[in-house]
Amino acid sequence: MEYIQTILFQIPATQLEQASESGGLLADLDGHRQHLQGVGGFRDIRITRSINNEGNVLVVVETRWADDTSLVRYETQEPNAAAIVRSHEGILVRDSLQVLDMEALRTEASFKQAEDAESARERVILPIAIPLGILAFALLAIYGLSRIYLEIGGNGAVALAAGLAIAVLLFAFYFAANPRAPGWQIVGVLSIFALALAGGTAWALIEEDEPHVEENGGEQANGDATGSDATDGAATGGTLIILGDNFFEYDGEREPAISVTLGEEVTFDLENQGDSTHNMQVNGTDDTYDIALCETGDDSTACSDPDVIGDSTMATLTVQFDEAGIYNFRCDFHPTEMMGTLVVE
């Protein structure tokens, strides 16, 4: 729908040339076009005149507006076309000025054309975009919730699923009972759910990427059991001993007493979880820390392989005892703080 201001006036044909010159009425109206480009709601301006070059010439000025509010605002503020015409009242034919406000009527053809243009989004875009959007949102929700459930696990996942189901039912009941609920409430509920889902999914993915230390002292990263080469940071088999600042820990116990089978070769996997440098040295029966009890592949006096274990580093220690007894071990860098025993029987 358009709203039109129509200004009609007559000027003598003898004044037509003067009105068209710079500073004349027609020239000022034509220059007013540039000002209208920046006025809200403006659509078009048309200036026409009769082809009669004798007597009086009829001039019609039409400005077209998107809504009546824009037209009224234009009429009540200057500059406007009517004020420009009145400023040149001296050349107008007396009592010929008329200002009319009208509403445009569309023909059936123009109405159909406008209707087709306005409904193009509903007829073409929306039937495709809405199902795709719903499908994408549903897939993201399923993926996100599955990651969260897997990370929580057990009764926690069951409780969360039940809570979400109840929340969905409550929201559905509320909006069904209030069909005229404001749009901001629907947008708000969907936004809260989307933010919570995004945050929970991010948390689950971060937690999934972090290694989990099992209660028995073994390490499991990303769901894979330990069992790769020690040089790329994973255990090579045997039993895990954690080296911290400043303690040994095995099976949740510090200064542990670890049972070892007589005559059997045992490989310990050592993981330095502290910030300091550590190692693990096993003594002989004479408590002199005899290197013969350890297998390191070099002449070092430290049993750990390598003999220096930096922070966040894995290493190994292989021992085999031919005599039963209790063998002490320590960290050579913290000998009075980091200690434990191997009980061979």
User: How much is the pLDDT for 121?
Assistant: 62
Where a domain ends, among 105, 140, 172?
105
Same domain, 145 and 172: yes
- The pTM score is 0.34
Q: Identify the residue with better confidence: 55 or 238.
A: 55
Q: Which long-range contacts (CB under 8 A, 24 or more apart) does 105-111 make?
A: 106/1
Model confidence over 190-243: pLDDT tens digits?
888 888 888 888 888 887 665 544 444 444 434 343 333 433 433 344 689 999
Model confidence over 8-23: pLDDT tens digits?
999 998 888 888 888 8
Whether 101 contacts 71, CB under 8 Å: yes
Question: Has residue 300 got a pLDDT over 70?
Answer: no
- State the CATH number of the domain containing residue 298: 2.60.40.420
Same domain, 125 and 95: no
Is residue 36 a part of any domain in this protein? yes
What range defines the domain where residue 283 resides? Answer: 219-344
Same domain, 93 and 183: no
Is residue 110 a part of any domain in this protein? no
CA atoms within 13 A on the CB side of 12: 8
User: What percentage of the chain has pLDDT greater than the value 90?
Assistant: 20
Same domain, 163 and 258: no
Same domain, 242 and 299: yes
User: How much is the pLDDT for 162?
Assistant: 86
Whether 243 contacts 314, CB under 8 Å: no
User: How much is the pLDDT for 161?
Assistant: 83
Q: How many domains does the chain have?
A: 3
Whether 74 contacts 65, CB under 8 Å: yes
DSSP characters over 296-308: -SSS-S--SBSS-
By the 10 Å C-beta count (0-12 exposed, 13-18 middle, 19+ buried), 37 is classed as exposed
- State the CATH number of the domain containing residue 67: 3.30.70.100
Where a domain ends, among 148, 183, 209?
209
User: How much is the pLDDT for 84?
Assistant: 92
Is residue 176 a part of any domain in this protein? yes
